[in-house]
């Protein structure tokens, strides 16, 4: 009888421990689920700073939030906040000061369309002794790898990245320069340059220009006529967005290019987004 009672007690105790273990597992799972559902919005600090008019803190919080975003919805919200923050002062209040020895710096993100072709290019133009440059996108790709270096004026340099089929996604980029032997780096929150439809190809004209904040330089158009097969420049013109687009008399075996350019800033750095349409003169 005593043995039966002891066996029963052991069975009851083991069942109790099992139930307690299951209860603990359930509690842990519930806690993890609660933590996931109650995860702090990574964009909350930037949102609050923007609402309070603290743009400097908003810019910093926006950069800090990027690595914590884990969904397309959050990344779209990040892009919307970037656009809202940029619109206030056209990005002039972004905390960026050019490195010593550089008086001007312009970063161009370009989508180029031609018959049966679409590619993307990054160009960097600077006034100063810049000897190395990288622009690393959110995926870790250096968009200036293998770039061509050209003299720009008497003291400047133009770094022309390769034409790549990969779009330029929105996100936090890293710009790295070597200036007079010293390394300089800055994180840049940048909008996407991808599948732009600002211009139409046929006819070669403005189609869907982007909204442009009043605090920014007005949009403009660049025109060029190039001679094939070397694509040497025959003619160039710049005009306001609302101007009538005209072309010189057709030149045999030439190529026309129309570009719509939008300009903003990241502190002392000038940022240009461009959509170009090109095609042979018919």
Express each pLDDT in 207-244 by its tens digit.
Answer: 999 999 999 999 999 999 999 988 899 999 999 999 99
pLDDT at residue 153, rounded to an integer: 82
The answer, yes or no, to whether the previous bond of 144 is cis (omega within 30 of 0) is no
130-136, strands of its sheet edge to edge = 130-136, 171-179, 182-190
Kindly report the average pLDDT of the chain as a whole number: 89
**How many percent of the chain have pLDDT more than 90?**
80
> pTM to 2 decimals?
0.84
Cβ density class 37-76: b for 16+ within 10 Å, e for less: eeeeebbebbbebbeeeebebbbbbbbebbeebeeeebbe
* pLDDT exceeds cutoff 60 at 28: no
How far apart CA 281 and CA 234 sit, in angstroms, is 13
Q: Which two tokens stand for residue 118?
A: 């679409």
- Mean pLDDT computed over 97-123: 97
* pLDDT exceeds cutoff 60 at 78: yes
DSSP state of 69: -
Contacts with 209 (C-beta within 8 Å, 6 or more apart), sequence order? 198, 219, 241, 260
The answer, yes or no, to whether the previous bond of 203 is cis (omega within 30 of 0) is yes
Please report which confidence band the pLDDT of residue 154 belongs to, taking 50, 70 and 90 as the band edges. Answer: confident
């Amino acid at each position: 009888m005593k043995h039966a009672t002891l066996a029963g007690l052991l069975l009851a105790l083991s069942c109790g421990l099992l139930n307690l273990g299951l209860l603990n597992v359930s509690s842990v799972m519930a806690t993890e689920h609660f933590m996931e559902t109650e995860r702090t919005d990574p964009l909350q600090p930037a949102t609050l700073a923007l609402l309070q008019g603290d743009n400097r803190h908003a810019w910093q919080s926006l950069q800090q939030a990027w690595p914590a975003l884990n969904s397309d919805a959050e990344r779209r919200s990040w892009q919307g906040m970037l656009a809202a923050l940029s619109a206030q002062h056209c990005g002039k209040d972004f905390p960026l000061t050019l490195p010593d020895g550089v008086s001007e710096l312009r970063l161009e993100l370009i989508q180029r369309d031609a018959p049966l072709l679409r590619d993307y290019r990054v160009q960097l133009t600077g006034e100063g002794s810049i000897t190395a440059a990288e622009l690393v996108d959110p995926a870790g790709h250096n968009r200036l790898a293998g770039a061509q270096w050209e003299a720009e004026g008497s003291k400047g340099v133009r770094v022309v990245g390769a034409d790549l089929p990969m779009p330029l996604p929105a996100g936090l980029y890293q710009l790295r320069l070597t200036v007079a032997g010293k390394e300089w780096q800055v994180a840049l929150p940048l909008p996407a340059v991808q599948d732009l439809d600002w211009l139409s190809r046929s006819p070669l004209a403005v189609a869907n220009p982007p909204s442009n904040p009043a605090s920014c330089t007005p949009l403009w158009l660049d025109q060029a006529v190039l001679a094939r097969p070397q694509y040497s420049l025959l003619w160039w013109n710049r005009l306001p967005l609302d101007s009538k687009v005209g072309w010189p008399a057709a030149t045999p075996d030439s190529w026309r290019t129309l570009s719509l350019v939008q300009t903003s800033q990241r502190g002392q750095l000038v940022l240009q987004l461009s959509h170009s349409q090109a095609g042979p003169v018919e």
